[in-house]
Amino acid sequence: MDGMDGMDGDSMGGSTQMVPLSADGVDFTNATQATDFLGDLLDDTILQVIGNDYAQYFWYGVVVVIGIAAVLNFFTILLHRSRLVAFEGHQTSW
């Protein structure tokens, strides 16, 4: 692989891959490597996207639960009204 030296995907700076962050191979006496590692450690762009997705799914779930409760409430009201009308139709006057 001529011309591809150092491009095997294990560079420290600014990677967007979903791999666990490890301090293996980081020389903390080297300020550049330490800064890159700490920058990667503090980078939470992937977590923000995942957190936003979970928040969106949560609110979709809340809307679905409220919708199901509203539909069940509507059918319960219809059932009670139909029973009331049927009861009033069967009453005999004195």
| Tally of domains within the chain | 1
- Alpha carbon of residue 47 to chain centroid: 10
Asked if residue 2 has pLDDT above 50, the reply is no
Cα three-residue angle 94-77-65, rounded to 5 degrees: 165
Confidence of residue 68 (pLDDT cuts 50, 70, 90): very high
Instruction: Give per-residue pLDDT as tens, 9-57.
Output: 455 555 556 677 788 888 889 899 889 888 888 888 877 888 889 999 9
In a domain, residue 30? The reply is no
Cα–Cα distance for residue pair 45/22, rounded to 1 Å: 18
- What is the domain extent for residue 54? 44-89
Please compute the mean of the pLDDT values over residues 63-77 and round it to a whole number: 98
In a domain, residue 76? The reply is yes
